[in-house]
Amino acid sequence: MTRSEALYIRLARAHVALFRFLLEAHENLALFSSLGTDAQGRETLLLRFAPGAGAEVRRFLEAAATEFPLELLPVAQHDPQAPASKGRGQA
């Protein structure tokens, strides 16, 4: 079974509806779920998309970033299935 790929982004909560509209206009290239809002009013979104579509999704994100600020977040920071990074003093 092939698993979907994932990216995490952060953007102002006020831009989530526009982000959804743009994503739908690109033939629902990815699906997203909200992971919550931080103290600065920025929403963290989990994007899921088909294996192999990562380059196209990243191009979409670059284009969306011309409309409003968004930040691509490290996957390991949010994904419980990502390998844990080793801290200092750990072998």
Q: Would 64 be classed as within a structural domain?
A: yes
Confidence band for 75, pLDDT divided at 50, 70 and 90: confident
Q: What is the CATH number of the domain that holds 59?
A: 3.30.70.260
> What is the C-alpha separation between 34 and 79, in angstroms, rounded?
14
Residue 71: pLDDT band with limits 50, 70, 90: very high
Domain around 28: 5-71
Does residue 89 fall inside a structural domain? Answer: no
Q: Indicate the number of domains in the chain.
A: 1
Q: What predicted TM-score, i.e. pTM, was given to this entire model?
A: 0.80
What pLDDT, in 10s, does the model give residues 2-40?
A: 789 999 999 999 999 999 999 999 999 999 999 999 999
What's residue 89's pLDDT? Answer: 41
Query: Is residue 91 included in any domain, yes or no?
Result: no
Q: Which residues contact 10 (CB under 8 A, 6 or more apart)?
A: 38, 42, 43, 44, 45, 70, 71, 73
Asked if the structure places residue 20 within a domain, the reply is: yes
The pLDDT > 90 percentage for the chain reads 76
In a domain, 87, yes or no: no
